[in-house]
Structure formats: structure tokens, C-alpha cells
Structure 1
């Protein structure tokens, strides 16, 4: 299972979301592929106002404030 995590350096919400992903990862096995939106113009334009963004199977699970319960519900199925 692969989860895409869109972030940028210096983003405190991103740090919190990364921590939530790692907590969920302790209960549900999955890989995190992290993408720095500042390294890709298309990603930057798409997610600039939304980061952090957590995406699984082409669907955005959550963005902005990321919480454990929402991530857990989306990933345990």
C-alpha cells in the first residue's frame, strides 16, 4: 500500500501530518512517498494552498489539518 504525501520545507502543518502518518503506520502497514511540491511546478500549482495533502489510490484522503481517525478509516479498508 502506497500513500503519497505532498509537502514543502518549513511547513509546520506538514510536520504534524507526517507525525500522524507515522502513528497510523504503526497500526496499518503502508509506505509513504513524500513529494516536495516546490520541486515540481505542476504539483506546486495544484497543491500550493492545500498542503499538506495525503493521497491514496488517486484520492485525496485529507489536506490541511490531518488527523489520526480520518487517516485510519481511509487506510484500514
Structure 2
């Protein structure tokens, strides 16, 4: 799991708080400021939570429940989030 963010980003700080509240599994923080490719792709979309293996992304704004649904694959017999 990767959190794409910027330096000095208030929304990114809020996203970190939400991830903590959701008890999200460990994730890598990637700052897009000095990477032209990431800057072009994500620009003002950050913060974005990205699942690298699947390529799925969760754009801000998200809450703890959305994060839990994003990081926990649904069981076959459970309703999807």
C-alpha cells in the first residue's frame, strides 16, 4: 500500500490521521513533488492511497470506513463496501 502525497499538504496530514484511525496496515509514503512522472499523473489529486499489486486507488476525500473497505478484500459471502 502506498500513500501518494506532497510536502506541506494539509489534506495529506488529514489522510494520515484517517489511516491511523482506520488502523490501516503499514504503507509507504511517496512524495510526488520531485518526480515529474508522478506530478503529471497525480497533480492535485493527492492524497491518494494506492494498492500496488492491483493498481486500485482511493482518492481523497476518504474516511476510516472507506479505508477499511479498500484494504480488506471482501469475503465471498459478505456484501461489498
TM range (shorter): 0.7 to 0.9
TM-score normalised by the chain length of structure 2: 0.78
Q: How many residues get paired?
A: 71
TM-score normalised by the chain length of structure 1: 0.82
What stretches of structure 1 of length at least 5 have no aligned partner?
none
Choose between structure 1 and 2: higher helix proportion: 1
**Shift, 1:39, TM fit:** 2.0
What stretches of structure 2 of length at least 5 have no aligned partner?
74-81
Choose between structure 1 and 2: higher strand proportion: 1
- Equivalent in the alignment of 2:22: 24
**Shift, 1:20, TM fit:** 1.0
- The structure whose Rg is larger is 2
- Equivalent in the alignment of 2:42: 47
**Are 2:18 and 1:58 equivalent residues in the alignment?**
no
Structure having greater relative contact order (Cα 8 Å, sep ≥ 6): 1
Which aligned runs of 4 or more in structure 1 are off by greater than 4 angstroms?
none
**Shift, 1:46, TM fit:** 0.5
Give the CA RMSD over aligned residues.
1.3
